[in-house]
Amino acid sequence: MSGKCLQCGAFHAMDELSKGEICPTCDGPYHIRSYSTVAAMPPPQVNKFVSAIQTQLVENPGDKQLNNALGICFLRLNLFDKALPFLEKAMEDNFADPYPYFYAAVCLLKGKKAFLATRPEIDAMERYLEAAISLEPRGIFYYFQAYIKYDYFERKSLNTTLTYKDLLTMANTSGVSPLDIEQLYSILGVPRPEAI
């Protein structure tokens, strides 16, 4: 079995890659499965991945990994409206990976604070996060919900079933780390509220 590097296009046997996710030809990431893969990349390098993935999607438009990777690249470039359809495509019949749902919720904020979002956007974010939690109850998913509950509901004095404090407790119980929280605000592009 072999695979094609997204960055340089080199083909490698899967056993060559079993030692890591780094392409032996270009020393770049072989796959883009999470935002952390592209977080530190300069935009021109991310754009190279965008071109390579788009080329591969022509041949395999339903490929969940490619759609997820392209959505993540567009998210890194702050092209939220472009990222969302690819992340939604990665969600189709995908009951194993919660991250496309999580990244889709991030896209709906469009780099602004939750306080500035519309109620339909907030409702859609909550649906995506609930789907992510139903697949894998990770602390960062609960923490992101806590941020939304605080910045949108608490600051606007709106009633909600679970408060941001309830969700913070759930996040801590589920093992959210300071690094997870730091990365979330980096992806969101907003400062962390002092209250949470």
The model's pLDDT over 158-176, given as tens digits with 9 standing for 90+, comes to: 999 999 999 999 999 999 9
Does residue 36 or residue 81 have the better pLDDT? 81
DSSP state of 178: H
Q: What is the pLDDT of residue 32?
A: 82
- List Cβ<8 Å contacts ≥24 apart for 159-168: 164/195, 164/196, 167/142, 167/143, 168/142, 168/143, 168/196
Q: Which of 39, 82, 77, 37 is nearest to 57 (CA)?
A: 82
The CB density around residue 120, as the number of other CB atoms within 10 Å, is: 9
**pLDDT at position 15 over 90:** no
**pLDDT at position 142 over 90:** yes
Q: What is the pLDDT of residue 1?
A: 37
